[in-house]
Amino acid sequence: DRGNYRHFMAKEIHEQPEVMSRTLGQYLDFTTGRTALPAQLPFDWKTLDRISISACGTAYYAGLVAKYWFERLARISVDIDVASEFRYREAPLPQNGLAIFVSQSGETADTLASLRYCKAQGQAIAAVVNVTTSTIAREADVVLPTMAGPEIGVASTKAFTCQLSTLACLAVAAGRARGVLTDADEQALVSALAEIPRLAAQALRLEPQIERLAKTIAKARDVLYLGRGTSYPLALEGALKLKEISYIHAEGYAAGELKHGPIALIDETMPVVVIAPHDRVFDKTVSNMQEVAARGGRIILITDAAGAEAATVDAVETIVLPAMPATVTPMIYAIPVQLLAYHTAVIMGTDVDQPRNLAKSVTVE
Ligand code: M6R
């Protein structure tokens, strides 16, 4: 039931404060300010040699954000690949390895095949899935459910931010168990994560501005998305979301890769969406924006008040989100990115919930 929404996608975007709150409640104990993972994990964080993550599409981008978290917060190296590559790569896997599979449906053929490969190689298997009765959930050693509820729109939105929420809790738990984070660090991160539902609700209030901005995007032939650090996977996600539902060509790039090729595309007709919270890599992203501006590219900057103030470039539009700790930015910055794709698709008149050529669950390779 779509309720008062025109599309399931819109409804699912708007459900995010609530479903992320439910998901975080599953993995955090707000009374103690600690993470609360299932008691019996089929591996020991302290002796883990490496984590391998495999997934497809949007779920892969959630995994890519998690790589930054696990490496930074828990000092575990993470190998991540799209499942269709991973399954045929014959990757050598470590003795004490954890393999994480991220999937909304839990039925994606390539992700399942990667799981079976890792199992045969003696890895501990964790599944971050939305459908807990799925094959991937059944075959995993531990299931970490995302509590997004049924996702009907083919474009993944709330499943993505719930995957991120789950993976963030996992990375914080790993960091604490490995002694990289102190009790105080853990508590600070848990309080930051607890703010997500409120911040997500604030991000949704930017919808009228984004709806107006979508008119500009709808006129473009190509759109470039840039980001650094954990905003890089969001740039990839923004581009995927736009192509999948509006059929406008889009590319996501790590901002630093701009001068290694894509900068040649930039002219006055090219919108460049820059995802840049005022974090430790912000200044680097500003220099990339200057390169875009110098070539007449039309910058759409998604940032916070400090970023808007410090960005010394002319953006055609600046979307200003509230300030927040770096660990929570991916879950919140996803929202304007989703809304931009959604409203562009509505203007283009495409079938938003059932885009052409796509299936909700890809059960063949
Ligand atoms: O069910 P899964 O999460 O395994 O599906 C993975 C991808 O097929 C999925 O995320 C796809 O990329 C979406 N249509 C993106 O919006």
Report the alpha-carbon distance of residue 275 to residue 340 in Å, rounded.
13
CB of 355 shorter than 6 A to ligand 1: no
Question: Over the stretch 78-136, which tens digit does the pLDDT of each residue have?
Answer: 999 999 999 999 999 999 999 999 999 999 999 999 999 999 999 999 999 999 999 99
Would you say residue 27 has pLDDT above 90? yes
Position 21 confidence tier, pLDDT thresholds 50, 70, 90: very high
Question: Over the stretch 308-344, which tens digit does the pLDDT of each residue have?
Answer: 999 988 899 999 999 999 999 999 999 999 999 999 9
DSSP letters for 290-322: HHHHHTT-EEEEEEEHHHHHH--S--SEEEEEP
For atom 8 of ligand 1, which residue has the closest CA? 57
From 215, 219, 243, 360, active-site residue? 360
Tell me if residue 215 is catalytic. no
Using the CB atoms, write b or e for 204-217: b if 16+ within 10 Å: bebbeebbebbebb
Please tell me the distance between residue 68's alpha carbon and the centre of ligand 1 in angstroms. Answer: 21
How crowded is the C-beta side of 273, counted as CA atoms within 13 Å? Answer: 32
Question: Over the stretch 177-222, which tens digit does the pLDDT of each residue have?
Answer: 999 999 999 999 999 999 999 999 999 999 999 999 999 999 999 9
- Please give the pLDDT value at position 161: 98
ipTM: 0.99
354 neighbors 254 (Cβ within 8 angstroms): no
Question: Over the stretch 239-290, which tens digit does the pLDDT of each residue have?
Answer: 999 999 999 999 999 999 999 999 999 999 999 999 999 999 999 999 999 9
Paired residues of 250 in beta bridges: 223
How crowded is the C-beta side of 239, counted as CA atoms within 13 Å? Answer: 24
| Substitution candidate for ligand 1 out of 108, 139, 243, 338 with most atoms within 8 A of CB | 108
Q: CB neighbours (10 Å) of residue 4?
A: 7
Tell me the average pLDDT across 127-149. Answer: 98
* Closest ligand 1 atom to Cα of 58: 10
- Please give the pLDDT value at position 89: 95
Report the alpha-carbon distance of residue 107 to residue 85 in Å, rounded.
17
DSSP letters for 278-290: SSTTHHHHHHHHH
DSSP letter, residue 235: H
* DSSP H stretches of helix in the chain: 8-14, 16-27, 57-74, 83-89, 109-120, 135-139, 158-177, 183-194, 196-204, 207-218, 231-246, 282-294, 305-310, 329-348
- Scanning the structure block, which residue is given the tokens 């975007």? 13
Would you say residue 40 has pLDDT above 90? no
CB of 163 shorter than 6 A to ligand 1: no
Please tell me the distance between residue 313's alpha carbon and the centre of ligand 1 in angstroms. Answer: 35
For atom 4 of ligand 1, which residue has the closest CA? 103
DSSP letter, residue 360: S
For atom 16 of ligand 1, which residue has the closest CA? 155
